[in-house]
Structures are given as structure tokens and as C-alpha cells.
Amino acid sequence: MSRPFAVAVYCGSRFGDSPAFADAARALGCLIGRRGATLVYGGGRVGLMGTVADAVMAAGGQVVGVIPQALMDREVGHAGLTELHVVQTMHERKRLMAERADAFISLPGGIGTLEEMYEVWSWQQLGYHDKPVALLNVEGYYDALLEFHRVMHARGFVSDSQFNALLVDADPARLLERVSRAAAVATAPDDYSKI
């Protein structure tokens, strides 16, 4: 890669019910920043989104935010980023984030976090990219979801290769290292033209 390693992080615009979620966001952000890597995220200043962005910048990393105009109008955009791209639609946001990232990690979050994670995971399955997709499973937050993934796999709706492609870890440092290694061997060119 000619540019710094870039990781897209999907996460909640809220903090959830445990301080461990913000601690994990802070730890992951610090690790990204210390690597001299770039965070690509949804551009918000609230919840776990703001926490991970602030941690990356505090540790010396670059942060690229992508936010729809409607959310900027609600004053939730983060003004202190390296780059802030204001787009018109959620679809533009997700595509630009995917294009700018070398890997994808989901922290705890809600419906939007899941939707973004499943979209890039399905794009991986369809061959639009071969970038790693990962879940940071803080305090077992994703345990029930992972059990359902096992059901989908067992019932024949998810192939062995796609089931095994999702990287899961509870430790931010270990997960970031795993996605970094996987991104380094990704060879297929991105092709988002069919999306």
C-alpha cells in the first residue's frame, strides 16, 4: 500500500450500557493512531463514534469522516477531523467509506452498525472486494449474533468460506493485528461498479 493502512470502524452513536464499550473504542482508536494508520468512520462526534475518532487523533493518527448532510444539519458532525466529507445520501457515505478503507471492524452498536457490517460482508461474498471484515466482541456483546451466524451456516445459507471469513475477537490489539495481516494479503481489486 502506498498510503497508510486505513481501517473503517462501524460503531454506535450512543455509549451503550457498559463503560467497557467506550474503553474498547478508546483502545482501538489509540492502537490505530499509534500505528500511524487512518481511521475511516461515519464522521460523528457523539457516542462511540466520537470516542474512537478522538482516540485516533490523540495518538497521532489520521481520521477521515464521511457524513450525510442531514446528520451535519443536526450538528452531530465532528469538526476536528483530518478530513470530513459531507455527502448527500447514506449510500454515498457507505460506498466512500468502503473505497477508502483496507479493512472493516465493527464495535458494539445498533441497527446502523449491523447494517453497515453486513453490507461490506455481503460485498465481500459477492467479490466486490476481498478486504477483511471483523467484529470486536466486547463483553460478549455479539455472542447471540454469532450464535445465529452458526445457525445460518449449519442450515446451509452461509458457505464455509464466508462463515470463516468474518474475524472475531474480544481483544482490540489482537483483532487489529489480525485484520492488518489479512489486509496485507488481499489482492483482488475493488469493484463497486455493480453496487
**What residue ranges define each of the domains in the chain, with the CATH number in brackets?**
6-184 (3.40.50.450)
> What residues contact residue 166 under an 8 Å CB cut-off, 6+ apart?
121, 133, 134, 135, 149
Asked if 103 and 134 touch (Cβ cutoff 8 Å), the reply is yes
Supply the pLDDT for residue 2.
66
Phi, psi angles (nearest 5°) of residue 9:
-120, 125
Supply the pLDDT for residue 1.
46
Supply the pLDDT for residue 186.
83
Residue by residue, pLDDT tens for the chain (195 residues) are 468 999 999 999 999 999 999 999 999 999 999 999 999 999 999 999 999 999 999 999 999 999 999 998 887 899 899 999 999 999 999 999 999 999 999 999 999 999 999 999 999 999 999 999 999 999 999 999 999 999 999 999 999 999 999 999 999 999 999 999 999 998 777 888 777
pTM of the model: 0.96
Supply the pLDDT for residue 192.
80
Supply the pLDDT for residue 73.
82
